[in-house]
Chain A
Amino acid sequence: MAEAAAVAATEMTVEMVKASQLGMKALGAGIAVGLTGIGTGLAEMAIGSAAVGATAENKDIFGLVLLLTVIPETIVIFGLVVGLLLLF
């Protein structure tokens, strides 16, 4: 009996493989977006706090520091691109 069960467990149908691959893709996409999101967050943390400080001293540079703050956004966008390419 036990042998039969083990054989059944190792035998995978094509559908199962496809579904598992799809799951792996979804996981990969999730990890790509999630980790790059953390990366962007860490980078923007420092820039953002410096930007707020700088704006408090001189309001004129608000536009410029807003842009400096969004520069690390590229990282998460690459993650998003990888995620999208994985999924579709």
Chain B
Amino acid sequence: MFTPEGMTRVLITATKSQMEPVIRELYRQHLFHIEDFVEKDSKEYEGYRIGTPLPAANETSRQLIRLRGITGSFGIREDEDVSGSRKLNSAHLKQVVEKELPLLEQETEELLGKRAKIDAQIKEYEQKIDSLRPFQDVPFDLSLLRGLKMFSVLCGYISKPLSLDVPHEIFSSDTKKGKFITIVVPVKDRPTVDQALLEAQFQAVAIPDEEGIARDRIGFYESQILARKGEMEEINRKLHDIRTRHRDLFLACHELLTADVEMAEAPLRFATTGQSFVVEGWVPTQQLERLKEGIHYATGGKVFVYECDPSEFPESPPVEYRNPGFAKPTEMLMDVYSRPRYTELDPTLIVSIIFPIFFGIILGDVGYGAVLLALSLGLGRVMKGEEVQKLAAILRNASISSIVFGILFSEVFGFSLPWEPVLFSRHLNIGGHAGGHGPDVTGLMIMAIWIGILQITLGRLLGMVNHARQDHGSHRVKAVLANLGWIMVLWGILVMIWASFSMPLMPDLTGMAAVVPGLNLASVAGLVMIVLGVLFIVMDSPLEVVELPTIMSHVLSYARLVGVGLSSVAIAMVVNFIAIGLIIEPQLESLTALGIILIVIGGIVLVIGHLLNTVLGMLGGALQSLRLQYVEFFTKFYKGGGRKYNPFGMKKRFVED
């Protein structure tokens, strides 16, 4: 529960003829975490080389790449929701890959090629239309404007009036971009005309290489585009048809080929000699027998499986979580920080309990809790994918806790429930909606401080266990004592405070007999604890002394449980006050037409305000309580940095053996 899955280092060796059956069996079992072989110069590895892929690798990779091209163009993703479809038999699929798939691929590629061609054609026509557009009002054949020897034809836009004192013919039309002119002048007058055109800010437009009247040509090309688009739709329909009919087949083939490629390339991770191969890796200790039996069966006993002593190897074993189902989703939060190392305690279970509680203390509101619960259930129902499911489960637990604390705090959307708060009151006096006596900030604060003290002490205790498990020799004793030292300093400070001040919800030690003036028995005990604690810390590492103030700041940091929570309550009550107290209620006294509109506006303000506060509350509650785990709790004992257990093989979703 608090430790990761136990791993055993296993070495498998056999002749090369057994390589394929061994790989197949390892892949099927999905248990063996391969340690990649790296060629080294050391004596033990003399003569070993990295293996070469199985003969089928090339062909299979080629098929896979081709298939990926097709699935990519169909937009088929591997994580697609395929809940309705059944698994396909792998032997049958092999035949499909050999025979049907190439045909399907060819058909698809042809259609895609056609589509690309039509697309290019449409683009070409559109360009032609663009070049013809300026001439759409020109009433004469475009071919007449080209190839003249005695005359120059100039076409383009002018933005200022044009005055010409040489003989010329001009046709002008108004377009969106300005005045478009087509002007014909004798070649000899060209310099004069050019000067005049320059003054009129003439922008030349090339005469398109077309026969006939521009408007007709535009019409022709437009009809062509329409026809091509029709063809394109037909092709798209065919492609869509292929996608719907063969999606499951594509996915299954993809899975099969991916598996085949991974298997074919596995020898690249093996150490090989001329005739034999060696592969090392990790397997969960509980599954070791299953692995051995499977490999022996697959090879007819022609294999040697050896359990190694893990201490001989520099790599630490890969880490697989071992938690009860309840704590499984929280593993995601652990991975965000860092996976635990193999030898250290796995705090997932503790986090999975404390995180929702903190969330509930911050966002203790039945209304918001219910909204978030509905959201998490909806999210879990609609969205697929492991990560989202875990996130939804975390949110679900958190929102249930929020509802529970909402009942204890007697809060629903910033209003109070029909009973007095069981825990401390968080009702503020905003707009007269509160129960009257205001929030019990002192009580809440002290509760938060207590939570901090307890969690930090727990963290340090876990730190003692971790050091006792991981370290060796004199450092082990020192590190354990240093953690004890931190606990003693924390509690020493507390005892000294209790001896000097009397506070609610905290032990009162002020009444103890004074030893010397100003210091009573408890103060002296506290002082001794602090001094001893500091001594223990210094023994391990003198530099740590500068960290002593963090004892105070980390404990006080838990005040955020109250601070963020109260701000969330305040926003909720302010929204209620603005929407109901200031907008809706005054209208209800004497209802008018304008009043009804204002009431609707008030309703909108209410909904948007609470929606915003729900989002804020969720982010605030989640981030702040997560941060308390990561920063205040984990820094006391947790290092992380474990490698993920990544067994060779895959969970088949579409193919059955």
State the A residues within 8 Å of B (CB). 63-64, 66-67, 70-71, 73-74, 77-78, 80-81, 84-85, 87-88
Contacts and interface: CB of A to CB of B under 8 A. Distances in A.
B624 interface: yes
B245 to A, nearest CB: 35
Interface in B105-152: none
Contacts of A80: 563, 566-567
Nearest to B336: A63
Contact of B631 (A63, A71, A78): A71
Contact of B442 (A63, A64, A78, A88): A88
A73 B624 CA distance: 9
Contact of A64 (B336, B553, B556, B624): B336
B628 to A, nearest CB: 10
B336 A81 contact: no
A57 to B, nearest CB: 17
B559 A88 contact: no
Nearest to B438: A88
A84 B563 contact: yes
B641 to A, nearest CB: 13
B559 A78 contact: yes
Interface in B602-627: 623-624, 626-627
B556 A78 contact: yes
Interface string B621-653: 001101100110000000000000000000000
A87 B441 CA distance: 9
B559 A81 contact: yes
A85 B444 CA distance: 11
A66 B442 CA distance: 31
A16 B280 CA distance: 83
A88 B556 contact: no
17 contacts: A63-B336, A64-B337, A67-B336, A67-B626, A67-B631, A73-B560, A73-B624, A77-B564, A80-B566, A81-B559, A81-B562, A84-B563, A84-B566, A85-B441, A87-B441, A88-B438, A88-B441
A73 B623 CA distance: 11
DSSP class of B's interface residues: helix, strand, loop or mixed? helix
A3 B601 CA distance: 56
Interface in B343-378: none
Interface of B: 336-337, 438-439, 441-442, 445, 553, 556-557, 559-560, 562-564, 566-567, 623-624, 626-627, 630-631
A74 B336 CA distance: 21
A87 to B, nearest CB: 8
B627 A67 contact: yes
A73 B564 CA distance: 10
Contacts of B553: 74
A70 B624 CA distance: 8
A23 B280 CA distance: 74
Which 6 A-B pairs give the minimum distances between C-beta atoms? A63-B336, A88-B441, A80-B563, A77-B560, A81-B559, A77-B563
Given A64-B336, A67-B626, A74 B441 contact: no
Contacts of A84: 441, 445, 562-563, 566
A24 B565 CA distance: 25
A88 B623 CA distance: 27
Contacts of B627: 67, 70-71, 73
A84 B443 CA distance: 12
Contacts of A78: 556, 559
B560 A85 contact: no
A86 to B, nearest CB: 10
A79 to B, nearest CB: 9
Contacts of A81: 445, 556, 559, 562-563
Nearest to B333: A63
A25 to B, nearest CB: 13
B451 to A, nearest CB: 14
Given A74-B560, A77-B560, A78-B559, 16 more contacts: A64-B336, A67-B337, A67-B626, A67-B631, A70-B624, A71-B627, A71-B631, A73-B560, A73-B627, A74-B553, A78-B556, A81-B445, A81-B559, A85-B441, A85-B445, A88-B439
Contacts of A64: 336-337
B617 to A, nearest CB: 15
B50 to A, nearest CB: 28
B151 to A, nearest CB: 61
A78 B449 CA distance: 13
B514 to A, nearest CB: 29
A81 B438 CA distance: 16
A47 B337 CA distance: 17
A78 B627 CA distance: 15
A39 B98 CA distance: 67
Contacts of A85: 441-442, 445
B438 A77 contact: no
Interface centre among B445, B559, B566, B624 (most CB of A within 10 A): B559
Contacts of A77: 557, 559-560, 563-564
A74 B557 contact: yes
B562 A67 contact: no
B551 to A, nearest CB: 14
Nearest to A74: B557
Q: Most A CB atoms within 10 A — which of B560, B563, B630?
A: B563
A71 B559 CA distance: 14
A67 B619 CA distance: 12
Nearest to A83: B563
B449 to A, nearest CB: 10
A44 to B, nearest CB: 12
Nearest to B441: A88
Nearest to B444: A84
A88 B424 CA distance: 14
A6 to B, nearest CB: 38
A26 to B, nearest CB: 13
Contacts of B563: 77, 80-81, 84
Contacts of B556: 78, 81
